[in-house]
Amino acid sequence: MLKHLTALPPAPKALVAQCGGWIFVWLSGHFGWLPGGIWTLALVQAVAAVVIAAAGRSAWWWLPIHLVFTPLAVATLALGVPSWVWLAAFVALALVYWRSFRTQVPLFLTNHKTAQAVAGLLPSSSAAVLDIGCGLGSLLVVLAECRVDIRLTGIEQAPAPFAFAWLRSRKWPNVTVMRGDFFAPSWAEFDLVYAFLSPVPMARVWEKAQREMRAGSLLVSNGFEIPGRAPDRVIEIDDRRGTRLLIFAL
């Protein structure tokens, strides 16, 4: 059973830990092992959820989340906030993060210095650039501002960032923002593909780049390495994050 739990993806594993915590509380109550009171129940559930998550080898940062989840839910009930507020907050977060629980790629943004460094990698004559997971379009608008001769495409799957990027890029005729999964279309027509993602999809990104991109084109990863493949060049950006642009030549 522990083997099955360990093999689960992060989100279902978290659900199992939370439900397991509640089952433990229910059983403890049933056999008369628990003193009464909502706080006792919440704390016992939280500790049981942490133990189950740790046994299932969840990443360490899930453990504090499990520890505070139910106690915070109980505490917020006491505030008497109307239930539609929670629904609205859930919908807003879902529109921003969408399938992040599955892709394991959250939303964070390329800064201006990094976008300018990417601009420096573009060929002097016209070129086509693809930002896979373009978020709010932070890279696209900087490139569009400094190069009117290049064709820029962004693909974003989360509805709210997509809508924002689409709206803000409308004034540049050379920018196209599309909604969807960036693994679906071909990358063959692009001279530079920019990826600011997470370690999780990088092996698949590299596989697709090798399969589809032309010789001489570039895959640029903001910060995340490709397993088993050293970058051909690294650009260190002088910013607070200590950004490293890893450049892979096809």
Ligand X SMILES: C[S@@+](CC[C@H](N)C(=O)[O-])C[C@H]1O[C@@H](n2cnc3c(N)ncnc32)[C@H](O)[C@@H]1O
- Binding residues for ligand X, rule: CB under 6 A, are 98, 103, 105, 107-110, 131, 133-135, 138-139, 155-158, 161, 181-183, 196-197
- Between 57 and 113, CB nearer to ligand X: 113
In the complex, the smallest distance separating the C-beta of residue 104 from ligand X, rounded to whole angstroms, is: 9
Nearest to 168 by CA among 140, 187, 193, 196: 140
In the complex, the smallest distance separating the C-beta of residue 148 from ligand X, rounded to whole angstroms, is: 21
In the complex, the smallest distance separating the C-beta of residue 107 from ligand X, rounded to whole angstroms, is: 4
Strands 192-195 and 128-132, sheet pairing: parallel
- Between 21 and 161, CB nearer to ligand X: 161
- Between 53 and 136, CB nearer to ligand X: 136
Q: What is the dihedral of CA 195, 150, 148, 179, to 10 degrees?
A: -50
- Between 19 and 211, CB nearer to ligand X: 211
Distance CA 151, CA 115 (A): 15
The residue nearest ligand X at its CB is: 133
Distance CA 114, CA 98 (A): 26
In the complex, the smallest distance separating the C-beta of residue 182 from ligand X, rounded to whole angstroms, is: 4
Report yes or no: 149 and 213 within 8 Å, Cβ to Cβ: no
